[in-house]
Amino acid sequence: MLREIWHVTRYPVTWVLSPFVAALVGCTPDDAACIEGAQLWQSPPPGLLCVRGDLVVQHRGPEELAVLARIESIEGSLVVHDDPALAELPAWPALVSIGGSLSISHNAALTAVRGFPVLEDLSGGLYVAENPALVELELGDGVTTIDSVFVTLNPSLAELRGLANLTDVTGDFRVTHDAGLLTLELPALRDVGGDLLITENPGLRSVELPALRSVETLSIVANASLESLAGFSALEEVTAALIEDNDALEQIHWATPGTAWLMIAANARLERIDGAASALAVDGRLHIALNPALQSVTGFAAVESLAGLTIEENEALPELAASPP
């Protein structure tokens, strides 16, 4: 059984700012309100603040967190990690821009992230990982473009909220190993420049990405409660797709044109696959295997040629209707 294994790094990469972005969020040398991250916890000046470089929130008590409400911009990344006493990360009411990534990871007691209500610029990626008690994740709807998204190993997280206006992810989008996740809704997301992985989320019931047009590789793997792929209704461009080990999935309609590689495997209750002649690229590959309840495969009759075709070990499939010549 084919499955991608993704390496979960402990800390995310800090992205390098372009001169244009740096000019937007940077500090002038003589600006007293622009301080190094360490100074924030010692003797910060009054008023709104700009943090030079990265800001690390680690081993901080509730009284220390009050100063975060005065931060307007961070030149580098914002990293909230290994903070065992942190139960709630309150809203950042003044934070408009983060020049690097936003990382929230390895916080044993963290139950809620209340959001970034005025955040407009997140130039790096979003990384939320290994927060075992995290139930509520509210990010704010001001960000429209982001470098990447990685939400993984947050077993209590039921819903990812606050990205309603996100339209573009230039790199990968990964939601993996979030055992309690019930829904994934991103109503405005149009394009994912890299791979979209929704894997190993056993409680996930619905995925609603109604505006999504393009993605490089789509992996929908091991989501035991996912019953439908109808939430990908606008999808127009996918290079490769893997739909595997989704036990509740009963039907797949695949009409995304020009797919170079389509693998549908080991979906325990899958009964029907409906395709289209245009759904497979010339010299593409189609692999359908190990779907024990599969009874019907239709819609691929007019495909002129394939580089590879494998249909095997689907015990209930009596014949292949509408197969490529």
Local mean pLDDT, 10-residue blocks, the chain (325 residues)? 39 36 47 88 94 95 92 97 92 96 97 93 97 93 96 96 94 98 96 98 97 98 97 96 98 96 98 94 95 95 89 89 46
Paired residues of 220 in beta bridges: 198, 243
Read off the DSSP letter of residue 16: P
**Which pLDDT does position 319 carry in this prediction?**
67
Q: Is residue 285 part of a domain?
A: yes
pTM recorded for the entire structure: 0.88
Q: Is residue 296 part of a domain?
A: yes
**Which pLDDT does position 302 carry in this prediction?**
82
Contact in structure between 103 and 79 (CB atoms under 8 Å) = yes
CA distance 86 to 125: 22
Q: Which domain holds residue 284?
A: 250-325
Contacts 24+ apart (CB under 8 A), 219-226: 219/4, 219/195, 219/244, 220/244, 220/246, 221/3, 221/4, 221/197, 221/245, 221/246, 222/3, 222/246, 223/198, 223/199, 224/248
Q: Is residue 261 part of a domain?
A: yes
* Amino acid residing at 218: L
**Which pLDDT does position 277 carry in this prediction?**
87
Counting the structural domains of the chain, the total is 1
Single out the residue of 8, 7, 110, 124 nearest to residue 62, CA to CA: 110
φ, ψ of residue 73 to 5 degrees: the values are -155, 155
Q: Is residue 307 part of a domain?
A: yes
Q: Is residue 257 part of a domain?
A: yes
Length in residues, the chain: 325
**Which pLDDT does position 322 carry in this prediction?**
44
**Which pLDDT does position 115 carry in this prediction?**
84
